[in-house]
Chains A and B, each alone.
Chain A
């Protein structure tokens, strides 16, 4: 089985101790997304918005996602203005879902390339965390804003497989879930290993992993769907797809 592996640190718990025979294909999200859609990879994590844009060809793993319940620290909107007065946001194109999340939370604001001047800047990852310590300008955590707005978790990424799904997919899913569970039971080991691999300080990573959720429960499903509906309302999504899962139990009804 060919498994796409995004080189983002938030995936570390899922790969912590993956006991399953897979061929790992590492890459940046855009390349992996293309391979996933072409069927060159059997399964991979994919950002929520990219999944939705290609949902007709994809099936979701029903037990895994990457989400946060409130603040995540790694997605910050930095601005001197009160949020209601922000008219433009400068963003890095790096994270498609964060950009759409910004549009959804600030529907009136214009999105600009990062180099340009704007009322607010969207910071992601390490830059966001560092900035929160170093820059006295008010930082707004988008995970928290999302929770305040919707009362639901924010789902950043899901796991998808191209149709028809590869055999043994649910066994792989089981192995991924087991890896997360083990990672949760040894948070220090996880933080040190991820620190060595991705280069962030271990202490930061330990706190960061605590804020992320990996199981795809009913609240996460509702959160994902709400996000997609709001993305549609701001013109980022043509239509909201139904969530189609890899293990389909549906009985044909007359």
Chain B
């Protein structure tokens, strides 16, 4: 019986995929409602290949930074933000941040800095421009992927400039691309519930649209697994797809599983997403987003074992990162980052794929044997 069900619900979608046709809202719901996990994986992997995907699986060496955790927004899912008065609030000076990044670069050789922050109302716009410029001058070969659309929007408030003008100034200072955060779930209902203080999603799109029009590539995300419905997930994905049709600058889509720990949702009994939902989301997004080249299985969130399995569910990128290295690690000892790379390579190979270290714009840096 289960086999019959499978034939009846995924079959029409499978035909569309083979014919190169676009999936619609109803198809999206069918995918999310399907219990045929393996069928979804097979379909997503086939779609990926039909659209030109290969066995290459990418990861990047990047350094994560957060310059300030002070945030005026107070999203309900956020365990990171602090108010200025709280003891764990911090704002790192540009000099200190650059010094730290330069030191880590000597130890780990990352090619990208990924930085997002709280929306700190106590710093001026110059704080951001100066930080970008100082990082770019100190590390000219490092790609600066910094500031979510929400932070860009925050900067328009700080400066009185338009979204375009803010982006132009940051680009002139050395900004390379935008990360995809701040998208959460676009539907108004969900935003009211989880991020009432955040700007309207129109601003998220306006920022990415403006970035694409000035040749700044960006990323996009969806935070799933909280109060959103399947309909709202499909709606979110379709909005991203339309934006990509119009301005085409998204390099990758990253589905982000919601972590309820240390948020109000924990007390309300929310639990972490299950692996099944994570795999389903990856397959679903690969199938729906026929115009975004890369889908990331974010191993830092889902764990490397599941991320490796996800490579058979439409993902072709496992992100990567560098570990914070102590300054005085013993000479000759393998650093934690090197160990991490070895582990990534092993998992990717085990999944039958070819590990490729990339830079932010998906240029190959190093390739391992399959």
Nearest CB in chain B to that of A229: its residue: B215
A244 and B215 alpha carbons, distance in the complex (Å): 11
Q: A251-B206, A253-B203 are in contact. Are A221 and B217 (CB under 8 A)?
A: yes
Query: B209: CB under 8 A from chain A?
Result: yes
Query: B305: CB under 8 A from chain A?
Result: no
A181 and B251 alpha carbons, distance in the complex (Å): 21
Query: B36: CB under 8 A from chain A?
Result: no
Chain B residues with CB under 8 A of A181: 20
Residues 213-224 of B, flagged 1 when their CB comes within 8 A of A and 0 if not, give 111111000000
Chain B residues with CB under 8 A of A247: 245-246
Chain A residues with CB under 8 A of B205: 249, 251
Q: A224-B215, A243-B214, A253-B163 are in contact. Are A217 and B248 (CB under 8 A)?
A: yes
Contact of B251 among A62, A218, A245, A250 (CB under 8 A): A218
Q: A249-B242, A253-B206 are in contact. Are A218 and B293 (CB under 8 A)?
A: yes
Q: A225-B215, A244-B213 are in contact. Are A253 and B202 (CB under 8 A)?
A: yes
Q: A244-B213, A250-B209 are in contact. Are A219 and B245 (CB under 8 A)?
A: no
A63 and B202 alpha carbons, distance in the complex (Å): 23
Residues 182-223 of B, flagged 1 when their CB comes within 8 A of A and 0 if not, give 000000000000000000001101100110111111100000
Residues 222-249 of A, flagged 1 when their CB comes within 8 A of B and 0 if not, give 1011101100000000001011110111
Chain A residues with CB under 8 A of B215: 221-222, 224-226, 228-229, 243
Residues 44-86 of A, flagged 1 when their CB comes within 8 A of B and 0 if not, give 0000000000000000001100000000000000000000000
Q: A218-B293, A219-B361, A253-B206 are in contact. Are A245 and B246 (CB under 8 A)?
A: yes
A247 and B215 alpha carbons, distance in the complex (Å): 17
Contact of B361 among A152, A224, A228 (CB under 8 A): A152
A198 to chain B minimum Cβ distance, whole angstroms, is: 26
Nearest CB in chain A to that of B202: its residue: A251
- B245, A218: Cβ atoms closer than 8 Å: no
Chain B residues with CB under 8 A of A151: 359, 361, 363
Q: A151-B363, A251-B206 are in contact. Are A219 and B246 (CB under 8 A)?
A: no
Query: A208: CB under 8 A from chain B?
Result: no
A96 to chain B minimum Cβ distance, whole angstroms, is: 20
- A248, B246: Cβ atoms closer than 8 Å: yes
Chain A residues with CB under 8 A of B291: 63
* A/B pair count, beta carbons within 8 Å: 78
Interface hub of B293, B359, B362, B363 (most chain A Cβ within 10 A) = B363
Number of chain A interface residues as a range: 20 to 34
Chain B residues with CB under 8 A of A221: 212, 215, 217, 248-249
Query: B77: CB under 8 A from chain A?
Result: no
Contact of B247 among A152, A219, A222, A249 (CB under 8 A): A249
Chain A residues with CB under 8 A of B210: 242
- B209, A249: Cβ atoms closer than 8 Å: yes
Nearest CB in chain B to that of A253: its residue: B206
Query: B250: CB under 8 A from chain A?
Result: yes
B167 to chain A minimum Cβ distance, whole angstroms, is: 10
- A62, B245: Cβ atoms closer than 8 Å: yes
A219 and B291 alpha carbons, distance in the complex (Å): 13
- A63, B217: Cβ atoms closer than 8 Å: no
Query: B336: CB under 8 A from chain A?
Result: no
- A219, B209: Cβ atoms closer than 8 Å: no
Nearest CB in chain B to that of A250: its residue: B209
A243 and B203 alpha carbons, distance in the complex (Å): 19
Query: A192: CB under 8 A from chain B?
Result: no
Chain B residues with CB under 8 A of A245: 213, 246-248
Chain B residues with CB under 8 A of A15: none
Query: B243: CB under 8 A from chain A?
Result: yes
A228 and B215 alpha carbons, distance in the complex (Å): 10
Nearest CB in chain A to that of B291: its residue: A63
Chain B residues in contact with chain A, CB under 8 A? 20, 163-164, 202-203, 205-206, 209-210, 212-218, 242-243, 245-251, 291, 293, 359, 361-363
Chain A residues in contact with chain B, CB under 8 A? 62-63, 151-152, 181, 216-219, 221-222, 224-226, 228-229, 240, 242-245, 247-251, 253
| Leading 3 A-B pairs by shortest Cβ distance | A225-B215, A242-B213, A218-B217
Q: A62-B245, A221-B249 are in contact. List 12 more A-B contacts (CB 8 A).
A: A62-B246, A62-B248, A63-B248, A63-B291, A217-B293, A218-B250, A221-B215, A222-B215, A242-B164, A242-B214, A243-B215, A249-B246
What are 30 A-B interface contacts by the 8 Å CB criterion?
A62-B245, A62-B247, A62-B248, A151-B359, A152-B361, A181-B20, A218-B218, A218-B293, A218-B361, A219-B217, A219-B361, A222-B217, A224-B215, A225-B216, A228-B215, A242-B214, A243-B212, A243-B213, A243-B214, A243-B215, A243-B247, A247-B245, A248-B246, A249-B242, A249-B246, A250-B209, A251-B202, A251-B206, A253-B202, A253-B203
